[in-house]
Amino acid sequence: MLNKKNSDSIRVILYTGKGGTGKSVIACATGLKTASIGYETLIVSSDPAHTLGDALEKKITNLPTKVSEKLWATQIDPIKEMQKNYAVIQEYLTSLLSAKGIEETLAYEIASLPGMTHLFALLKIEELAKEKQFDVIILDTVPSGEALKYLYFPKLFGSISRKLISLVGSIAGIARIVEPIIGLPTPKKEVFKSEVELIKRLENLGDILKDADTTSLRLIVNPDAFSIENTRRTLMLSALHGLNVDLAIINKIIPEKVNDPYFSKWIGIQKKYLSEAESSFYPLPIKKLMLFDSELMGIEMLKRSGDELFGDEDPTKVYFRGSLFKIISGEKELTLIVRVPFASKEEINDIERIGDELLVKVSTEVGDVVKVIPLPTATLRMRLSRAKLLSDELHISFVDDYEREGRSR
């Protein structure tokens, strides 16, 4: 829960999920709820489909637009954010590639690294947090795991590298004298200054996102196979990047009171996937939201959705702290630690590896339950070595035999 007595405190809630799960609607419903409690709230969207404006039934621009008392919304343009923060560096990289004979249009494409537009959409959070205009910031479209990798960019440089960049920048004028000799454009001082500023902002953003008291990642999932599989992978990525996932929301559940024969089969299918989701996301708190009998559009319907979801609770509370996955890396070995609900050694029947997933079969009172665990990319070249249950944690070890096998040939 946000401490309003501390004027410097801010709460950031990030909603993510597969397309169509209801991120925008739930972000709006959350924002209306926090605003009704008294928090100055801003909902931020970078979705090019402009679903935020559709849900609120209001034109939302790139500047904070007032929606209701204490509630604001903004539709940011990731391309514009990228141009504002990266244009100087991009221009230099493009000129460098062009000097190597690469056609200019293609050079621009290469200089725009994958995931960068999403990253600069995230950087908007750092800017808003610095301005301290709002108590709560809610982002309704979270960048991909690929974009989150860029949060580690500052670690590749560190404070020493920043000093080195500044030093090289100070002698950039001398470097330009030898430019005709080396045949490559040398960076201007503005390029180095822009790089240092970008690294600093990325560090600030990383601090905000990895502070569990400030930021929570919340998962929106539908009770179907594709949505649950996508969310499992998101959980693994969030653990790798140090983000605190505090809540999962299962959306669009058909109410059991619906007695139409057509939907009765769907209700049975959803029950199966609800059970699978509870097993996959344990011990994460789960909230369930029914499928409403009309579209969730407009302030009144969104308020109804927020009340159904949170009741009398304050949505800014941190529902859970911790990681569903722990990864311990050693020399040629990696151990993945996963929480397994209500299991003893006798109840774990089988562990099977299929591609980049691990299937753990657990016996329960209602029959066998299969827990599907996504594996980190680092394990793809490793062999499953052993698995042991310690309390409610399953320790799965992988060893890297690649180098040893290579030397034996």
- Average confidence (pLDDT) over 112-119: 68
Among residues 395, 392, 342, the alpha carbon closest in space to that of 373 is found at: 395
- Which residues does residue 287 pair with via DSSP β-bridges, in sequence order? 249
pLDDT tens for residues 90-111? 776 677 667 767 777 777 676 6
Q: Which of 323, 351, 380 represents a domain boundary (last residue)?
A: 323
Among residues 11, 255, 227, 312, the alpha carbon closest in space to that of 139 is found at: 11
**311 with 403, same domain?**
no
**300 with 202, same domain?**
yes
**330 with 311, same domain?**
no
At 345 the pLDDT is 57
**14 with 152, same domain?**
yes
**Side by side, which strands form the sheet with 383-390?**
325-330, 333-339, 393-399, 383-390
pLDDT tens for residues 54-66? 899 999 988 899 9
Share of the chain above pLDDT 70, in %: 74
How far are the Cα atoms of 51, 219, 255, 268, 395 from residue 249, in angstroms, in the given order?
Answer: 19, 6, 16, 19, 27
Q: Which of 323, 341, 360 represents a domain boundary (last residue)?
A: 323
Could you give the number of structural domains in the chain?
A: 2
pLDDT tens for residues 71-87? 999 998 877 777 777 77
Point out the least confidently predicted range of 21-25, 124-128, 166-170, 295-299: 166-170
**210 with 232, same domain?**
yes
pLDDT over 70 at 212, yes or no: yes
**Domain that residue 335 falls in:** 325-408
At 177 the pLDDT is 45
8 Å CB contact between 220 and 190: no
d(CA 275, CA 268): 11
**135 with 248, same domain?**
yes
| CATH number of the domain that residue 257 is part of | 3.40.50.300
pLDDT over 60 at 162, yes or no: no
**311 with 332, same domain?**
no
- Which residues does residue 338 pair with via DSSP β-bridges, in sequence order? 325, 394
Which DSSP string do the residues of 253-280 spell out, in sequence order? Answer: EPPTT---HHHHHHHHHHHHHHHHHHHH
Give the chain's mean pLDDT: 80
**174 with 312, same domain?**
yes
Q: Which of 295, 323, 351 represents a domain boundary (last residue)?
A: 323
At 373 the pLDDT is 80
pLDDT over 70 at 131, yes or no: yes
Q: What element of type H or E holds 358?
A: strand 357-364
pLDDT tens for residues 305-326? 999 999 999 999 999 998 887 8
**393 with 295, same domain?**
no
**266 with 121, same domain?**
yes
**26 with 108, same domain?**
yes
Q: In the Cβ-directed half-sphere of 10, how many Cα atoms lie within 13 Å?
A: 20
**295 with 386, same domain?**
no
d(CA 199, CA 202): 5
